Chains A and B, each alone.
Chain A
Amino acid sequence: MAYACPYCGEQVDDENRCMICKRDLEWVAKIYAKSNSYYVKGYYEAKSKNLSSASTYLEKAIYFNKYNITARNLLGLIYFEMGKIGSALKEWIISASLSKEENIAEEYIQRIQNSPKMLVTYKDSIALYNKALMYLKQKNNDMAIIRLKKAVSLNPNLIEARNLLALCHIKEKKFYKANEQLKSVLSIDHSNLKALAYFKELSHEDTDKVQPYELEYIPRQSKNNYVKPSRIINRGHMLAGYVIYFVIGVLCMLVVQTSLILPNKTKNYERQIVELKDSEIKMSSLLEEERRQSQAEIKKLEEQNQKLVQEKQGNELALSKMAQKEKIAQITNLKNKKEWVQAAEILYNVAPSLLDDDTTALYNKLKNEVYPKASAILCDEGYKQLNKGEYVEAKSKLEKSILYGPSATILRRSLYYLGRVEKEQGNIEQAKYYFNTVTEQHKGTNEAYWSAGELEKLK
């Protein structure tokens, strides 16, 4: 059986060694053989209509070999037969993405896409089943049963819905109905464990007779619901009279408005306009005076402010210089206590331009001593946190490790670990950036080899 070498991806023909990368592949051949044996078992189970056990075998077959396309396609078909269209499509989509050549999964997907009506029906049945499950968890059994019945009528092969409906019927002691559902499930899937268990439970009950409370209530509908009115009252002529009176009233109001009210109002408005104009002139002269005074005040305040700013700047500079010196003293103290990471953090925040010559020399000496040690410690801590799954903390430490200008070894390790952190967090583009940097700038190292492998996986 030909298969792809898991190390380099080259095709290997029935040999236990890859001809390209020369690695031993006996273990791979054994795993693939196991996958095939599970597929064969799954195939025979599916042929005998034992869909549940077939799906278990086929799931194992694809766990042993994800490229076992026939097993994956058959698993999709079994899910489809069980009414689980979502799971079926998922398997076929994965299958189509893993193998493009002559893959029947593409045809299955196409066939489903070509029957949108069937797809919508199946989709609705799954939504109804999920809703019913939610209702049952909220102890709203009646609503759940309505939805399950609808789901089963839309998609008769949805065996999970039938099993759940049977369970609800058993709870309500409707054994005849439960039995009907279970028989349907077992006719689709002979080895369905849930159905078999419920069926066994029903063997103690009378399932042949329909109990009176199992009968559906159907309200009797009267054939002639329409009630004929005995008399029709015509109010048309009364309404016309009311409208005429209303129009006359409106016209009278208009006459009073134009002849009496409007001329008086106009005179009042004219007087008000004259008064407002006078007060406007007074206000504008007052405003002009106020503006002149304010401008003079602003000029004076601006001069004072300039002076104060200059004083403040001088004080700040002196303060910062003192603060830098304090920081250097603090770093020396931390260095003596061998607290390298803390020392590096403070050292990173020192502004060298504010130091005098002596302190600058001390600063450079501290930098050469503290940074390499701090970056090595941070890289180690970041690696440990990465393996514990503490990605946020790992990222912060590894980034700091790079910040302190580490040695080439620490730099490539930190970059590779950062790539892994980004990958785990789902930031694929950022992960690719780190892996690319390692492969390009640190060729021939273990990290470059692993980064190339990671890049291959991320394609």
Chain B
Amino acid sequence: MIDFKKELEKFSPLLDVDHIEDRIGKDDIKDLIDVLKEFNQKKSERLNHEE
């Protein structure tokens, strides 16, 4: 039997056309390469700071 309350939680509001520009965050234009580069930079920063 379907649990209505539980199923309802699977639905979320849809993006409104008027709010597209507010909702384009930096995470939307970040890919795996950016994540790896950021990780690498943080690592070298830490090493540099500890020098």
Residues of A that sit less than 8 Å from B by CB: 6, 27-28, 31, 62-67, 84-87, 89-90, 93-94, 97-98, 119, 122-123, 126-127, 129-130, 133, 136-137, 160, 163-164, 167, 170-171, 194, 198, 201, 380, 383, 387, 413, 446-447, 450, 453
Q: A86-B15, A446-B48 are in contact. Are A167 and B29 (CB under 8 A)?
A: no
A198 contacts across to B, CB distance below 8 A: 2
Compute how far the CA of A453 lies from the CA of B41 in the bound complex, rounded to whole angstroms. 10
* In the complex, residue of chain B having the shortest beta-carbon distance to the beta carbon of A119: B17
Q: How far is the CB of B16 from chain A (nearest CB, A)?
A: 6
Between-chain CB contacts (< 8 Å), 7 pairs: A65-B32, A84-B15, A86-B17, A87-B15, A133-B11, A137-B8, A446-B48
Q: A136-B8, A453-B41 are in contact. Are A98 and B29 (CB under 8 A)?
A: yes
A94 contacts across to B, CB distance below 8 A: 24, 28-29
Q: How far is the CB of A136 from chain B (nearest CB, A)?
A: 6
Interface-centre pick from B1, B4, B28, B31 (highest chain A CB count, 10 A)? B31
Interface-centre pick from A31, A90, A122 (highest chain B CB count, 10 A)? A90
For chain B, the count of residues having a C-beta within 8 Å of the partner chain is 34
Contact A201 B2 (CB under 8 A): yes
Compute how far the CA of A84 lies from the CA of B32 in the bound complex, rounded to whole angstroms. 26
- Extra contacts, 18 of them, besides A89-B20, A97-B29 (Cβ < 8 A), are A28-B33, A62-B31, A64-B31, A65-B33, A86-B19, A86-B20, A87-B15, A90-B15, A94-B29, A123-B16, A126-B17, A130-B14, A130-B16, A164-B11, A167-B2, A167-B8, A198-B2, A201-B1
* In the complex, residue of chain B having the shortest beta-carbon distance to the beta carbon of A136: B8
Which among B11, B17, B31 is the interface contact of A65 at CB below 8 angstroms? B31
Compute how far the CA of A173 lies from the CA of B18 in the bound complex, rounded to whole angstroms. 36
Q: Which 5 A-B pairs have the closest CB atoms?
A: A86-B15, A66-B31, A130-B13, A123-B17, A126-B14
Compute how far the CA of A383 lies from the CA of B49 in the bound complex, rounded to whole angstroms. 8
Q: How far is the CB of A77 from chain B (nearest CB, A)?
A: 16
Per-residue contact bits, chain B 2-45, to A (CB 8 Å; 1 contact, 0 not): 10100110111111111111011000111111101100011011
Which among B16, B18, B20, B48 is the interface contact of A93 at CB below 8 angstroms? B20
* In the complex, residue of chain B having the shortest beta-carbon distance to the beta carbon of A409: B51
* In the complex, residue of chain A having the shortest beta-carbon distance to the beta carbon of B14: A126
A453 contacts across to B, CB distance below 8 A: 41
* In the complex, residue of chain A having the shortest beta-carbon distance to the beta carbon of B13: A130
Compute how far the CA of A453 lies from the CA of B45 in the bound complex, rounded to whole angstroms. 13
B13 contacts across to A, CB distance below 8 A: 129-130, 133
Compute how far the CA of A449 lies from the CA of B48 in the bound complex, rounded to whole angstroms. 13
Compute how far the CA of A67 lies from the CA of B29 in the bound complex, rounded to whole angstroms. 9
Compute how far the CA of A406 lies from the CA of B31 in the bound complex, rounded to whole angstroms. 38
